[in-house]
Each structure stands twice: as structure tokens, then as C-alpha cells.
């Protein structure tokens, strides 16, 4: 059996970090089998090395090895790329085409960025993992393939499953064995080794002396976060190799090539919230609707008090309610009340007709308010229904989307008999 050190030399892997060594050990152990492997890790950590190791040490090493970047293929053509298509299956399909799974029969397929696969393609992939069967686009004839699948992702697939963007059954099929590569910031002792390797490579490429870092530069190198991981380190090494005439690099010189901490780098951001703006707008709308409902009840109460007791008594006994509705300037509110026509309130308890007219007006206002409340409830019901449908009946996901607790959502479902 190959040793970890031999594999590092063979595939030019630099580093002695225990987590890196453990990932390589797992790749060596799983290679002779045919079980599927899921490689996890941030962008730029070197995930593409693991499937190459697995293929080279497997009994399929004489078969084809195909690496597919699932995120780089448009959604409309990815099924054709992976599974092939029949002539005339769609506009532009002038010939029958073999897909990667047909071409790689007997070999290994590496599916990079597997989390970007459309749901329809995930169903097709699951069928291959289960029984090795697939259908070409536009064909009804089942075909068989014998391929080893190694997948990689830099996104949190559990979050994708919760959001309905990745199939849970496919995840467990792919991740029979998990191999996780650590980010560069957790491999501090390896950072300088990698930099020296890149500096030597670029010195040979550009025919110039290699770079040398002093002690302060090494410290700067190890303290930096390296959000882009090995890929970012390599780019920095190439920049300095090309631009610096002095081959002895100080800490200040190196620092000038590093972006400021917290700057906007094109690096992987965990848990991207693509619907954040939509969620914020929905939360604001909910708040406005409930505030309107509360204000209507307050106005109803205040109007009833005005009809029964008159302006002066209402102002004395309902100061907090008036402040809530009209603001903190109670004096201004009182002036506005005094300026209102006296016919707007009950001024004579002996005038039966006037009282009945006021009561009719109040009942009419109450009817309007009830209609408003019904419309608000209808909107609320519609939003809850849409969210439950979107999340396939999962109450927790729907509650998170609506910005309310799962218990509140359960109560609403009971209340509205959904």
C-alpha cells in the first residue's frame, strides 16, 4: 500500500498538517473500493487532488478519469453533457451525443461543485448511484454504466437541503465516505513551505532568482487569514516574483501585497442568503399589517369612548391611548379635538335622534374595520399557504421564511384551519 509521503511526492502535495495527512490516508484506504466519496472544503484548498489520488490507486486507473465542474455548465445543457442526448431531442441536437457517464464507463467521474446541480439532474444522478442506469435526453431506452463517482463541494449541503436546493437522499448516497480538507489558515506551519514552493516555481518560470522572506515576513504570512486559501497564496507569490526587483522580502513589503482584513475579496462566503432582501421586505410588510390591525382596534375603542362620554372625559381617561395613536404631543391633540365640529361627538344626552345617528355612524365604521381585518387575515392566510407550498409542508422552514416561530405558525394553521 502507498504511504502518505509517497502520495505527496507523486501528486506534488506540500504540507505536514495532521488534518491534511488524515484526508490523504482516507483517500488511500477508500481507493480500492467502489464506494462514492464526497470531498468537502473551502474554495482553493486543493479538493481536486483527492479524486486523482483515488482514481490512480483504484482498479479503474486504466479507465477514463473525467473532471466535471457542475457550476460551469448552464442548467439547460447539463443533462445533455452528463447523460448525452439523441438526435432531434432539442433544437440544435443534430447528432446523437455520448454523455460523460457513457464515455467514462469503467472509469471515474469527479463532479466538482456538486451542490450547484439542478434538482432534475440530481434525480438522474441518484438513479446512477443506485443501480447504474440512466436515460439520454430524448431517449426512452435505459442504458447502464459502471463508473466511480467522487463529488466535491465548497457549500454547506445541510443548509442547501433545508432550503430545498439539494436532495437529502442524494447527499447520503454521495457521502458514503466524507473527506474534509482543512483551510490554509488552519495549516499555519505549511504556509511558508507552500510559499517557498511557489516562489521556486515562478523563479524557474520567469528565469529569475527565487524570493526569500525574512522572519517578520514569515510572521505576516502565517497571521494572514487567506480566505482564498492555496490559490490566493499562489497568486500573491506570483505577483511578488514578477514585480519586486529586490528578492529579499520584508514584512512591510509582503504586507503591501496583501488585501486589508475584511475587504471584499472574491472568496467563498458561507451560508449565502440570496433571498435576504425579499425576506426583509416580507418582514416589514408583516409588521405594517399587524400594526394596522392594532391601530384599528385602538381607534375603535377611542371612538366608542368619544360617543359615550364626550371629548373632555375621553381626554382625561384615555391619555395613553391618544398618545399611542396621535403621538406624544397631547396638547396638540387636544386642540385638534376642540377644533372639530361639535356634531362629531355626542353633546346632548337628551337628543335621542342625534345619538342614534352617531351610533349608526359608529356601526358603519365598525363594519368597515371588520372588512379591513378580514382582508388582512386573508393576506396572512395566503402568505402562510404560499410559504408552506414552497417549503413542501415543512413547518420549520416555512416559519423561518415568514420570520415567525414554529409554534406561532402552528397556531396560525390551527386558527385558519389550513
DSSP sequence for 250-289? -HHHHHHTSPPTT---S---SS--TTHHHHHHHHHHHHHH
Question: Grid coordinates in use for 248?
Answer: 529579499
pLDDT tens for 179-194 read 999 999 999 999 999 9
Q: Is residue 297 pLDDT above 90, yes or no?
A: no
What average pLDDT does the chain have?
A: 83
Q: Which residues contact 220 (CB under 8 A, 6 or more apart)?
A: 251, 254, 255, 258
| DSSP β-bridge partners for residue 108 | 65, 148
Q: What is the pLDDT of residue 404?
A: 83
Percent of the chain with pLDDT over 90: 59
Q: What is the pLDDT of residue 292?
A: 74
Q: Is residue 199 pLDDT above 70, yes or no?
A: yes
Convert 26-59 to b/e letters by CB count within 10 Å (16 or more is b).
Answer: bbbebbeeeebbbbbbbbbbbbebbbbbbbbbbe
Q: What is the pLDDT of residue 329?
A: 47
Question: Grid coordinates in use for 56?
Answer: 490512480
Q: Which residues contact 381 (CB under 8 A, 6 or more apart)?
A: 416, 418
Residue 392 sits at φ, ψ, to 5 deg, of 55, 40
pLDDT tens for 354-365 read 545 555 555 554
What the chain holds in terms of domains, given with CATH numbers, is 4-182 (3.40.50.300), 186-256 (1.10.8.60), 276-416 (no CATH)
Q: Which residues contact 84 (CB under 8 A, 6 or more apart)?
A: 96, 97, 98, 99, 101, 102, 136, 137
CB under 8 Å, gap of 24 or more: what pairs does 270-276 form? Answer: 270/155, 270/156, 271/156, 271/159
Residues 91-102, mean pLDDT to the nearest whole number: 92
Percent of the chain with pLDDT over 70: 75
Question: pTM of the entire structure?
Answer: 0.63
Q: Is residue 158 pLDDT above 80, yes or no?
A: yes
Residues 253-282, mean pLDDT to the nearest whole number: 64
Where residue 48 falls among pLDDT bands split at 50, 70, 90?
very high
| 3-state class (DSSP) for residue 69 | strand
| pLDDT: which is higher, 249 or 265 | 249
Place of cell 486559501: 229
Question: Grid coordinates in use for 141?
Answer: 431506452
51, 30 Cβ separation under 8 angstroms: no
Angle at 396 between CA 393 and CA 401, to 5 degrees: 90
Where residue 269 falls among pLDDT bands split at 50, 70, 90?
very low
Angle at 46 between CA 44 and CA 48, to 5 degrees: 115
Q: What is the maximum alpha-carbon separation in the chain? A: 108
pLDDT tens for 127-157 read 999 999 999 999 999 999 999 999 999 999 9
Residues 99-125, mean pLDDT to the nearest whole number: 96
| pLDDT: which is higher, 161 or 348 | 161
Residue 297 sits at φ, ψ, to 5 deg, of -65, -40
Q: What is the pLDDT of residue 391?
A: 82
Most confident of 91-95, 243-247, 261-265: 243-247
Q: Is residue 331 pLDDT above 50, yes or no?
A: no
Where residue 346 falls among pLDDT bands split at 50, 70, 90?
very low
Q: What is the pLDDT of residue 344?
A: 41
CB under 8 Å, gap of 24 or more: what pairs does 2-10 form? Answer: 2/28, 2/57, 4/28, 7/53, 10/56
d(CA 57, CA 43): 25
Q: What is the pLDDT of residue 276?
A: 53
The least confident of 212-216, 266-270, 401-405, 410-414 is: 266-270
Q: What is the pLDDT of residue 182?
A: 96
Q: What is the pLDDT of residue 340?
A: 44
d(CA 378, CA 384): 10
Q: How many residues does the chain have?
A: 418
Q: What is the pLDDT of residue 361?
A: 52
Q: Is residue 261 pLDDT above 70, yes or no?
A: no
Q: What is the pLDDT of residue 385?
A: 84
Residues 12-20, mean pLDDT to the nearest whole number: 95
Amino acid at each position: 500500500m502507498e504511504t502518505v509521503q509517497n502520495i505527496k511526492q507523486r501528486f506534488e502535495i506540500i504540507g505536514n498538517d495532521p488534518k491534511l495527512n488524515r484526508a490523504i490516508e482516507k483517500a488511500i484506504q477508500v481507493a480500492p473500493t467502489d464506494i462514492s466519496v464526497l470531498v468537502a472544503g473551502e474554495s482553493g484548498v486543493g479538493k481536486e487532488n483527492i479524486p486523482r489520488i483515488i482514481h490512480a490507486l483504484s482498479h479503474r486507473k486504466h479507465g477514463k478519469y473525467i473532471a466535471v465542474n457542475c457550476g460551469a455548465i448552464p442548467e439547460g445543457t447539463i443533462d445533455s453533457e452528463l447523460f448525452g442526448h439523441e438526435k432531434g431531442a432539442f433544437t440544435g441536437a443534430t447528432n446523437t451525443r455520448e454523455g460523460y457517464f457513457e464515455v467514462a464507463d469503467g472509469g471515474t467521474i469527479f463532479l466538482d461543485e456538486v451542490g450547484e446541480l439542478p434538482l432534475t439532474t440530481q434525480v438522474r444522478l441518484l438513479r446512477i448511484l443506485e443501480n447504474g442506469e440512466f436515460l439520454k435526453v430524448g431517449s426512452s431506452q435505459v442504458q447502464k454504466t459502471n463508473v466511480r463517482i467522487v463529488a466535491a463541494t465548497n457549500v454547506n449541503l445541510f443548509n442547501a437541503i433545508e432550503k430545498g436546493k439539494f436532495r437529502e437522499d442524494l447527499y447520503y448516497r454521495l457521502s458514503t465516505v466524507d473527506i474534509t480538507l482543512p483551510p490554509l489558515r488552519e495549516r499555519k506551519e505549511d504556509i511558508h513551505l507552500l510559499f517557498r514552493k511557489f516562489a521556486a516555481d515562478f523563479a524557474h518560470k520567469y528565469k529569475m532568482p527565487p524570493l526569500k522572506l525574512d522572519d517578520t515576513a514569515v510572521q505576516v504570512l502565517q497571521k494572514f487569514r487567506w480566505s482564498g486559501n492555496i490559490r490566493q497564496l499562489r497568486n500573491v507569490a506570483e505577483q511578488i516574483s514578477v514585480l519586486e526587483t529586490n528578492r529579499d522580502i520584508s514584512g512591510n513589503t509582503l504586507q503591501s501585497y496583501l488585501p486589508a482584513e475584511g475587504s471584499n475579496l472574491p472568496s467563498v462566503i458561507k451560508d449565502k442568503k440570496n433571498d435576504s432582501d425579499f425576506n426583509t421586505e416580507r418582514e416589514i410588510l408583516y409588521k405594517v399589517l399587524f400594526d394596522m390591525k392594532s391601530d384599528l382596534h385602538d381607534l375603535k375603542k377611542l371612538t366608542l369612548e368619544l360617543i359615550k362620554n364626550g371629548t373632555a372625559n375621553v381626554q382625561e381617561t384615555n391619555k395613553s391611548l391618544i398618545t399611542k395613536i396621535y403621538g406624544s404631543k397631547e396638547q396638540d391633540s387636544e386642540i385638534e379635538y376642540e377644533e372639530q365640529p361639535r356634531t362629531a361627538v355626542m353633546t346632548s344626552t337628551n337628543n335621542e335622534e342625534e345619538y342614534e345617528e352617531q351610533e349608526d355612524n359608529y356601526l358603519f365604521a365598525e363594519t368597515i374595520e371588520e372588512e379591513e381585518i378580514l382582508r388582512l387575515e386573508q393576506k396572512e392566510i395566503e402568505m402562510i399557504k404560499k410559504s408552506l407550498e414552497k417549503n413542501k409542508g415543512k413547518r420549520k422552514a416555512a416559519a423561518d421564511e415568514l420570520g415567525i416561530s414554529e409554534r406561532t405558525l402552528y397556531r396560525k394553521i390551527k386558527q385558519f384551519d389550513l
